[in-house]
């Protein structure tokens, strides 16, 4: 069997809704490695929030911040930076609308406005995340690869900034990434650099920020808990992240 480039989202895919690994998921990954398949993570998380997952699963190739940055064998292989000018425009619009913004580097993040705001608080609390520290100069002093915008979806047209594209990941939260950036483009680039073709990519995901990669992959697999739009684009719908979805799908495909 030709080796596969097998890509996993983290939240709602590798992790259960209780933010834990199923034993069956870990067993499946070990089996994939033993057979010589390449295992990759593709997530909206930054490095600090993904590090424990990467370390525990012993994965050395990972795409973070929705494709803005990618590592191969733990070495930086791809990076896109948001321009200071466009970031300043984003801040001005957010200030006018009383919205909140969080800025991310490869290694950290900070919120821009002192008051967290209702939307940011609800989004972070729903995921059990700690609200980022306030640092108004963070974006000036660092290379920003992704921002998180917390606003009502009906207000998004106000943020028509040419350089940016917006990817929804929560009722109140959107990732702000370079227009040319995406999980799909970065995964394809890294796969091809490592001798794989598009049809060799197998992807497991659940969220709206997974749709483009779901469509691009040779086989796109939506978790049973995935958003409806994700399931519509998938080749296979497996069981949920709480019900051995990864193990069952890989078993049915004879990959383990």
Question: For 48-97, what is each residue's pLDDT tens digit?
Answer: 889 999 999 999 999 999 999 999 999 999 999 999 999 999 999 999 99
DSSP secondary structure letter of residue 132: P
135 included as an active-site residue:
no
Report the CATH number that the domain containing residue 149 is assigned in CATH.
3.30.1240.10
Helices (H), the chain: 23-34, 47-57, 84-97, 118-127, 138-141, 183-193, 211-216, 228-233, 245-252
230 and 248 in a single domain? The answer is: yes
For the record, the structure tokens of 3 come out as 């080796």
Q: Under 8 Å CB-to-CB from 3, ≥6 apart: which residues?
A: 35, 36, 37, 38, 196, 200
Give the residue from 146, 178, 210 where a domain finishes.
178
Q: Which of 9, 11, 46, 175 is catalytic?
A: 9
173 and 89 in a single domain? The answer is: yes
What's residue 202's pLDDT? Answer: 98
Cα(first)–Cα(last) distance of the chain, in Å? 12
187 and 174 in a single domain? The answer is: no
Beta pairing, strands 69-72 & 75-79: antiparallel
89 and 149 in a single domain? The answer is: yes
What's residue 168's pLDDT? Answer: 84
- Is 90 exceeded by the pLDDT of residue 102? yes
Band the pLDDT of 126: cuts 50, 70, 90: confident
The whole domain housing 188 covers 5-79+181-252
Q: Round to whole Å and give the CA distance between 116 and 90.
A: 17
183 φ, ψ to 5°? -55, -45
The answer to whether residues 214 and 182 touch, using CB atoms and an 8 Å cutoff, is no
100 and 146 in a single domain? The answer is: yes
174 and 185 in a single domain? The answer is: no
Band the pLDDT of 18: cuts 50, 70, 90: very high
27 and 153 in a single domain? The answer is: no
Q: Which residues pair with 168 in a beta bridge?
A: 174
What's residue 127's pLDDT? Answer: 78
What's residue 220's pLDDT? Answer: 98
**Sheet of 146-150, strands arranged across:** 109-111, 100-104, 146-150, 173-178, 164-168
What's the number of domains the chain is made of? 2
pTM for this predicted structure:
0.87
Q: What is the pLDDT of residues 186-234, one digit of tens each?
A: 999 999 999 999 999 999 999 989 999 999 999 999 999 999 999 999 9
139 and 160 in a single domain? The answer is: yes
229 and 172 in a single domain? The answer is: no
- Is 80 exceeded by the pLDDT of residue 1? no
């Amino acid at each position: 069997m030709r080796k596969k480039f097998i890509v996993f989202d983290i939240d709602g895919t590798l992790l259960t809704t209780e933010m834990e690994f199923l034993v069956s998921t870990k067993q499946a990954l070990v089996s994939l490695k033993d057979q010589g398949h390449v295992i990759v993570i593709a997530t909206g998380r930054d490095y600090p929030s993904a590090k424990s997952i990467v370390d525990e699963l012993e994965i050395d190739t990972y795409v973070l911040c929705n494709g803005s940055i990618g590592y191969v064998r733990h070495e930086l292989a791809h990076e896109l930076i948001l321009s200071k000018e466009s970031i300043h425009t984003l801040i001005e619009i957010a200030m006018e609308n009383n919205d909140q913004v969080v800025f991310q580097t490869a290694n950290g993040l900070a919120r821009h406005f002192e008051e967290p705001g209702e939307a940011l608080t609800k989004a972070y609390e729903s995921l059990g995340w700690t609200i980022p520290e306030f640092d108004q100069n963070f974006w000036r002093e660092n290379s920003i690869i992704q921002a998180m915008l917390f606003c009502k979806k009906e207000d998004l047209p106000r943020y028509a900034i040419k350089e940016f594209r917006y990817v929804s990941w929560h009722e109140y939260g959107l990732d702000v990434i370079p227009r040319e950036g995406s999980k799909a483009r970065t995964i394809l680039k890294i796969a091809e650099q490592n001798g794989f073709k598009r049809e060799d990519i197998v992807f497991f995901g659940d969220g709206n920020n997974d749709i483009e990669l779901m469509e691009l992959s040779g086989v796109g697999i939506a978790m049973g808990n995935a958003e409806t739009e994700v399931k519509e684009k998938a080749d296979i719908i497996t069981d949920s992240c709480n019900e051995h979805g990864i193990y069952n799908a890989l078993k049915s495909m004879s990959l383990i």
